[in-house]
A and B are shown apart, each in its own frame.
Chain A
Amino acid sequence: MTAPFFSLDNVSVRFGGLLALQRFSMEVAKGSIHALIGPNGAGKSTVFNCVSRFYTPSEGDIAFEGRSLLGVPAHRVAGLGIARTFQNIELCRSLTVIENVLIGMAPRVRGYFPFTPGFRRAAVERQAVAEAEALLERTGLAALRDVPAEALDFGHQKKLDLARALASKPRLLLLDEPAAGLRNREIAALDALLVGLAREQGITIVLVEHVMRLVMAVADRITVLNFGQKIAEGAAAEVRADPNVIEAYLGQGSHA
């Protein structure tokens, strides 16, 4: 049996007396969009923070492309091909849009020392800026290239958070509530963008999301978390029909 593309295996996370994740396992297939849903406080962001190596699980293992992430420091995760966005948007607020994207390219901009002048450095930086501009074009931020991130409206900040994550050319993308706070029209565009990333560019996506319309439209598979434990998993239609899920998460009489 070959190792899964990305997996969490019996991962537990403890904050003092609170068990934020309890022997949680999940396997994500390459090229799929895998939604991770559950009520607030269920432990979804904790999963992401473990993958980002901000938290260390008290037991279990997390593996990407067959190697464990637990021995990897936080700043090396991006270089391995894993990028993420943040629920509450983490941007370098006083820097411009393109500067934020360039920061996202950090693991890929190499080959010179900071103090050194020279052609090599200029070439590396020119290449980086060109790539960043292309990415802004694709994500619809090109017109805002030199605007400070803090001056953007909420929707554009979300887009920039995503563009920064894409800048590292990830093979696995963790999205933490990308649709939260977006208007209907913007959610439709996000829907198309995510499907495009997965189908055309082959980027595997783990999606934490409360907006069920988006989850049901794009997710190949859904894992449901409640109180740090997995309560259901399967294709969208199965999970939607699962009485446990309806009971615990969607609430009775819901028709999400």
Chain B
Amino acid sequence: MENTQLKNAQDLWQPLSKAERDADKIVRPSMTYWQDVWRRLKGNKVAMGSLIFLVFLILVAIFVPMFWPYSYSDQNLMNANQSPTAEHIFGTDKHGRDLFIRVIYGARISLTVGIAASIINLVVGVVYGGISGYVGGRTDNLMMRIVDILYTIPLTLYVILLMVWLGAGMKSILIAIGTTYWISMARIVRGQILSLKEQEYVMAARTLGASDSRILFKHLVPNAMGPIIVTMTMSIPSAIFTEAFLSFIGLGVSAPKASWGVLANDALGSFMLYPHHLFFPALALSLTMLAFNFLGDGLRDALDPKMRK
């Protein structure tokens, strides 16, 4: 007994090996950047809820019309202006068309406009901003000056003018929105490229003999992705809103196809009598925009490396 006690006491004064010293260290599991981003996003309940809602909405928009008994143009004047019933979940409009399916079709159109326009903005903006930022110097100055002049005027005015020129319809809307909103994207991309240009790995890639365009697209652009993704997510609701706005002033898609904006506009005249005409498209529009905004906010928080806990 005494021996062990003595042994223990003497043990205490034994020097520790490095391995024993490191035993207590808390090691954080290393993760790749994108895993980290996804982990953070998952923790944001509101953003995840929005993401789920949007995925659900897209699935509904794609699949429901395939088996729904009514189509968006089936008229049945005897059933006109009905309030929601079991048969017509959202009621009917003034031509007796099922409002539910029209709202779903509206989702198709509004979402298509939103996403397609954003993709166009993305491509144009990335190319313009990427070149401007990478080439730098006088070219950059000139390109940015042009952007500054264009930026002074509200883009909505341009869109309106373009629509007047191009005439109504889906294609025109895409062209009009796609050729105006790229400006903010271009600015952001350029800013990212400028800061990334200074980073060391560009030098490293250069010393390995990579050509200029390779540097641009393989190294710089993926790292600028963060703010680009956020901007794109936020530009979808802008595009959807702009389309609704255009419909409101009479420049939207043509009947009987209807986006949510067109549905809302049509409902204006009679909504005091039949509020459900306006309520459902407006609700769909608002919820979708809300969801994209929350998702964009969540992505922005998740992509910000300074928040790494």
Pairing of A with B: no
| Chain B residues proximal to chain A, CB less than 8 Å | none
